[in-house]
């Protein structure tokens, strides 16, 4: 359960959500996609409060689930988590998606931190709360949870 989470997601920014298993990543995504509406806090996307018109909001979002599956189609049609990819393929995929994401507000949930180092903002969750947020470089300099996750992820 999330507790007093307040998030501003600016237009055309890439936001990454990270944290250990059970930290609240899936819960936060269910709130962002409005699959769940019971919540203490505020989420703004493109300067719009998340509790605005649900129909028009849902027409503007796409959700990609954790379970990987591939179809014979373009990269755009095969957007999925990158956790099952080798590093070379992951980099090629992410490089090709960057142009696509540059014109959209993008939210990525990641376990492999190397896939989100380019994000405009990284939100680090712990026990249902925002532990810290910033860019990859800022969070590494903070030497807190993200830095620990990065070291564990790279070893």
pLDDT band at 14 (very low <50, low <70, confident <90, very high): very high
Segments forming the whole domain that contains residue 138: 5-154
* pLDDT at 102 (0 to 100): 84
Measured between alpha carbons, how far is 140 from 145 in angstroms, rounded to an integer?
Answer: 9
State the total domains in the chain.
1
* pLDDT at 85 (0 to 100): 66
Pair of tokens at residue 134: 């910033």
- pTM for the whole thing? 0.79
Nearest to 50 by CA among 66, 35, 36, 34: 34
Measured between alpha carbons, how far is 137 from 144 in angstroms, rounded to an integer?
Answer: 12
Nearest to 114 by CA among 73, 85, 77: 85
Residue 82 CB burial class (10 angstroms; 0-12, 13-18, ≥19): buried
Model confidence pLDDT, tens digit, residues 90-107 = 777 777 778 888 888 889
More confident residue, 28 or 36: 28
CATH of the domain at 14: 3.40.50.300
CB 135 within 8 A of CB 121: yes
More confident residue, 17 or 2: 17
Measured between alpha carbons, how far is 85 from 92 in angstroms, rounded to an integer?
Answer: 10
More confident residue, 146 or 27: 146
């Amino acid at each position: 359960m999330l507790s007093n989470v307040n998030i501003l997601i600016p237009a055309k920014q890439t936001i990454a959500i990270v944290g250990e298993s059970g930290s609240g990543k899936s819960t936060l995504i269910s709130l962002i996609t409005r699959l769940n509406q019971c919540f203490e806090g505020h989420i703004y996307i493109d300067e719009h409060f998340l509790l605005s018109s649900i129909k028009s909001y849902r027409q503007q979002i796409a959700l990609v689930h954790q379970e990987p599956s591939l179809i014979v189609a373009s990269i755009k049609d095969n957007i999925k988590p990158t956790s099952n990819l080798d590093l070379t393929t992951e980099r090629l995929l992410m490089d090709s998606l960057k142009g696509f994401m540059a014109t959209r507000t993008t939210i990525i949930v990641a376990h492999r931190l190397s896939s989100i180092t380019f994000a405009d903002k990284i939100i680090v969750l712990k026990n249902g709360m925002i532990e810290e947020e910033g860019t990859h470089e800022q969070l590494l300099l903070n030497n807190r949870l993200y830095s620990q996750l990065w070291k564990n992820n790279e070893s």
